[in-house]
Amino acid sequence: RQAAALVDAAQRDPLTGCLDHGALVDTVALSIELSRTDGRPFGIVLVDIDNFRSLNDTYGHAAGDDALLTVVDVLTQALPEGAALGRYGPDELLVVVPTERIHAIDGFLATVRAALVDRALQYGVSERLPITLSIGVCTFPEHAESATGLLTIAATTLQEAKSSGGDAIRFAGTS
């Protein structure tokens, strides 16, 4: 039991308690294997907190941590059943949506965005600071044939969302 607890702890981000980068990549690779076996697609949702660096620079790293924890809380509450959530980068979160829930991605993202409207942050006498997200979505095998390829497509699609001014969702292969 202790060994299992240590393995679990080693795969978790210490701040958020979510899966860490390595565990997420493993989850994507396993999902690809399962998808190849059953021939059904699965989804990847890459989420970036808009203006995260500015938040850290202006209000300190504790403010960035608050924003990250707020987004994780909102994502966790809306997460489709069986989906995996983890911290992919400093201000990026990744959701792996299983085959049987791939149809729920649009509703999941709408729920997350609506919940964040009410979750603005405030520090001292600052104005309420809204939390917005840029999001890139892709699916296997439609957009890539490997974990690396899929994650690259998700990152490129996320960058398109950010480049449009942020607070946007982009699906791979659409304009």
Q: What is the pLDDT along the chain (175 residues), one digit of tens a residue?
A: 666 555 565 688 989 999 999 999 999 999 999 999 999 999 999 999 999 999 999 889 999 999 999 999 999 999 999 999 999 999 999 999 999 999 999 999 999 999 999 898 887 777 888 999 999 999 999 999 999 999 999 999 999 999 999 999 999 987 5
- Cα distance from N-terminal residue to C-terminal residue, the chain: 49
Assess whether 91 carries a catalytic annotation: yes
Question: How far are the Cα atoms of 42, 101, 145, 164 from residue 36, in angstroms, in the given order?
Answer: 11, 17, 10, 34
Query: Of residues 48, 50, 66, 91, which has the active-site annotation?
Result: 91
pTM for the model: 0.91
